[in-house]
A and B are shown apart, each in its own frame.
Chain A
Amino acid sequence: MSIDTAPTVSATALDATSGATTRRDIAHRLLMTLGPILVALVIAGCILLAVGVDPLAYYGFVLEKGLFSPLGIQQTLTRMAPLLFLAAGLIVAFRAGMWNLGGDGQFLLGAVTAAASAPMFVQVMPAWLALVCSFLIAMVVAMIWSLVPALLRAYQGVNEIITTLMMTFLGTSLANVLVKLAFRDPNTTVPQTRTLPVEDRLPRLFETTITSGLLLGLAAIVIVHLVMTRTAFGLKLRIVGANPRAAVHSGLGVPGLTVAVFAISAGLAGLAGAVDIIGVQGNVRADWNPAYGLAVIPAVFLARMNGFAAIGFVFLLSVLSIGGESAARRLGVPNHFTLVLVSIVLIVLALAEYFDHRYNQSRRA
């Protein structure tokens, strides 16, 4: 697992102070990110042509609605908030070599507990305290949910891919049961939780519709990045990830660290659910499952578990999904096309990285 701390996306800011070599490096990295995305857009465009849609019109729409229109960019930035929390959780788990594939279950349980607790709390305490409490409860519930896979992996060596996948199926169903039976709003016909009034939700930034959850998400991922790269605790986790047996021999308490990793990773996924509910949605409808986790996992890999690069990829994902949703409504291309586009972008990026690596190796040799 490469431990690579060079920033990819936010690197342009460093331009003025760095020398010529780093500038070439930055240009190279930008090229290696934007080039593949362009290639992916061309390939996806061919699919659009095949089904009889003008690709230029489609992409124009995606860019306009996802990036350049004031409303679109605000929606994009709002969508980033939960994705950033999920990405932060995955970075911790993956750097420590643990496959937490249960993000969606943890996310939904966090969302449901936040949705259930926030409207109750705002009646008995100041709004800011109510939100903090809901966030904490969502985090704790998601942490508890990850305890079984964590303990099984830590003390029994049961593979966490199976257990987290199963817990995510269980969690999705449990979230539905909770919405339908326990936390159902008696005043609506559709099963959903009680709606948090708009004025009690997370404040919006300045005069926009962007949720302040975006700042929380950015803070979370930057903190996670710094903890993983700059602290002793992060180094311990990375040693566990790079070589668990070496970690045991160097005297690290691997089982305890394993449980800690799962708790942090799941807690962040729970916070992702809470930030989506308390910041944006206001309630959870039955059978609501945005399945963010599945798209965030490959993005985190492509960012090489680097927090700053992950911010860039999460931004890209958000632009594509918000723009795609608008384009779907206008051009009659179903929303599902976004999935195809994201998938092609991921594959081409992975290929580009491979060929770049090969090229560098052959030049060095």
Chain B
Amino acid sequence: MTGLFSEVFLSALLFGAVTAAIPLLLAGLGEQISEKAGVLNIGIEGMMLAGAYLGFVGAFYSGSLWLGFLTGAVGGAAVALVMALLCVRIGLNQIVIGIALTLGLEGLTALLHHFQFSRSYPRLPAAEATVIPLLSDIPVIGPAFFKHHLIVYLAVALVFGMSYLYRRTQLGLNLQAAGDKPAALDVAGIDVVRTRTIAVLTTGALAGLGGAYLANVGAGLFIPFITNGAGFLGIVLAMLARGRPIWVLFGALLFGVCLSLTTAMQVAGINIPTDIIQMLPFLAVMIMLVLFGRRASLPAALGIPYERGAR
């Protein structure tokens, strides 16, 4: 058992946790902005898959990870554009379109992968880490938290950027109003449809970026259904966070630790079905909800398309 709790093992475990948490963090932050603006974005799983596929294609053919992240974000945003047109502009049912987009992108990315990569399964080289001087020398914590790809630090910084956006900017207030009282926002002379469209496109870009990270840095390759429910986890995180970005970060780390623990246990040869460990984060959250469950403070107009002059 000494090997289990050695420094190397612990820092590898935490390193894996951060790697697993970043896609969830980006998806959760993305979902949060849509929900704030009153759009329940169930299509986020599809947006992540589009990002993962296009991000991998971009990085694979250009040889540049950053270009891959860019194509991933653009791919996610492209799917989000469809969602924005259908659900925000003409007000179709968000759940129908969201699920349809998820199903469609699952199929489409798997199909494209089949015709393109299923014979060779190409891999990307391991991502280059940005080592933060001094901090990375701390035992255990240093190698776990301060030797990641630059995008990881940017994603964490985004948490604070989002907090600033929601609390201190006009756009943040507009987003909040679009979710809570869209008619009031409209009366104030601000275009609800435009505000919500901005939110949904941002969601798509962030989810796409999360997918691209998952494929390019986390796995190093694209396989069909690679997101494996990460988008739905993002929805759960966003709802649990009650509109606060920092809670998305904590939640993502909690799920990241459990995901990483699953792999670590397998490596250590401990004979517990991985399913049991995968249940842990959900169990923890459910217990928390049972003990402290209060009314979730969801935006009042969540899921309701805005139609000027309706009622």
Give the B-binding residues of A (Cβ under 8 A): 47, 51-52, 99, 148, 152, 156-159, 161-163, 165-167, 169-170, 173-174, 176-177, 180-181, 294-295, 297-298, 301-302, 333-334, 336-344, 346-347, 350-351, 354
Contact = CB atoms under 8 A, between A and B. Distances in A.
A223 B63 CA distance: 59
B96 A301 contact: yes
B106 A339 contact: yes
Nearest to B45: A294
Contact of A342 (B103, B112, B235): B103
B236 A165 contact: yes
A343 B273 contact: no
Contacts of B96: 297-298, 301-302, 346, 350
Contacts of A99: 95
B132 interface: no
A39 B99 CA distance: 20
Given A169-B229, A340-B107, A157 B295 contact: yes
Contacts of A346: 96-97, 99-100, 103
A350 B86 CA distance: 9
Q: Which of A167, A294, A342 has the most CB of B within 10 A?
A: A294
Contacts of B101: 343, 347
Interface stretch (B149-157, B162-170, B283-291): B283-291
A347 B86 contact: yes
A176 to B, nearest CB: 4
B293 interface: yes
A27 to B, nearest CB: 25
A168 to B, nearest CB: 9
A107 B286 CA distance: 20
B289 A158 contact: yes
A51 B118 CA distance: 14
Given A152-B293, A302-B96, A166 B110 contact: no
Contacts of A351: 86, 92
A166 B92 contact: no
A181 B272 CA distance: 10
Contact of B296 (A158, A294, A333, A336): A158
Contact of A174 (B90, B93, B110, B275): B275
Given A167-B286, A350-B93, A298 B100 contact: yes
A157 B296 contact: yes
A298 B95 contact: yes
Contact of A354 (B92, B110, B273, B290): B92
Contacts, number: 146
B236 A336 contact: no
A166 B104 contact: no
A114 B209 CA distance: 42
Main secondary structure of the interface of A (DSSP, over half): helix
Contacts of A169: 229, 232-233, 278-279, 282
Contacts of B276: 173, 177
Interface in B75-127: 86, 90-93, 95-97, 99-108, 110-112, 114-115
Contact of B107 (A162, A173, A177, A336): A336
Nearest to A94: B95
B301 to A, nearest CB: 14
A336 B111 contact: yes
Given A159-B296, A337-B111, A350 B273 contact: no
B311 interface: no
Nearest to A176: B275
B17 interface: no
Which of A161, A337, A354 is packed against the most chain B CB atoms within 10 Å? A161
B240 A162 contact: yes
B275 A180 contact: yes
Contacts of B278: 169, 173
A336 B114 contact: yes
B239 interface: yes
A336 B296 CA distance: 37
A340 B229 contact: no
Contacts of B289: 152, 156, 158, 162-163
B285 A166 contact: yes
11 contacts: A47-B108, A156-B294, A159-B298, A174-B275, A295-B103, A298-B99, A339-B106, A340-B107, A350-B86, A350-B97, A351-B92
